[in-house]
Amino acid sequence: MAKAESEDTPIQLRTLIVDDEPLAVERIQVICAELPAINVVGTASDGAAALRLSEKLEPDLVLLDMTMPELDGLGVARKFAEDDNPPAVIFVTAHDHFAVEAFDLEAIDYVLKPVSSERLDRAIERAVARKGERKASPSKWLDELWVPHRSELLRIAVSEVHQIDAERDYVRLHVGDPEESAEARRSYLLLQTIAGLEERLDPEQFIRIHRSTILRRDNIRGLRHDGLGVWSAELQNGDALRIGRTYLSKVKAMAGR
């Protein structure tokens, strides 16, 4: 049995770096050498090698590139998820549009290239904090999202999102106090269809009122009949949004009508 770590013993994570670009591996190794919580035990240049080395080295953490030939980062992470005691995963990638899929696989973080020491250090802190925690039963509902913002990805709690609007192949997440005016709200674009996101949101917390709109239930102050069978949802900030006919019966059922 492994000796229990004392509270005074700093946690060090046995880390495997996986990237098909040698210069990217070298850069991450240089950064990791400056981080005391990291002990690099190996590197791999493709997904198949990553799985073989992980089985032999039993890393605590894998810094995993997303786009690799044949078996990509998502495929590797899915294989890890089948293990009884999988390593923690931090995706390190040049692409921001895999964030939802990455979170589905319970990744610790999603770091965009070019990797900075400060950004990777923050991700490592999350991995250290999670090490030793009892793994909770997985939920089918999202509780956090990563959204592109400037040169990195922000982690947003789903509980902070009060409205979601479809914008072609994207959704706009409205975040913050739902009683604020539209001008004062923060919003972020995420590459995800509204139908795809709806499937991952807890229906006890969110309801779709229109083909282009999902609302958090507690953001709805009441329903208003505008005549001729037209209904609107009144929001906490006083705005009113029309309810699509397809969704009207479900919205009324929520209100007990």
Average pLDDT over residues 69-76: 92
> Is the distance from CB of 145 to CB of 155 less than 8 angstroms?
yes
pLDDT given for residue 84 in this prediction: 84
Average pLDDT over residues 46-50: 96
pLDDT given for residue 6 in this prediction: 45
Domains and CATH numbers, the chain: 13-134 (3.40.50.2300), 152-254 (2.40.50.1020)
pLDDT given for residue 5 in this prediction: 47
pLDDT given for residue 97 in this prediction: 78
16-26 tens-digit pLDDT: 999 999 999 99
**For residue 211, what are the CA distances in angstroms to 167, 203, 227?**
11, 16, 21
> Is the distance from CB of 214 to CB of 198 less than 8 angstroms?
yes
Q: What global pTM score does this model have?
A: 0.70
Lookup: tokens for 133: 């925690």
Average pLDDT over residues 46-51: 96
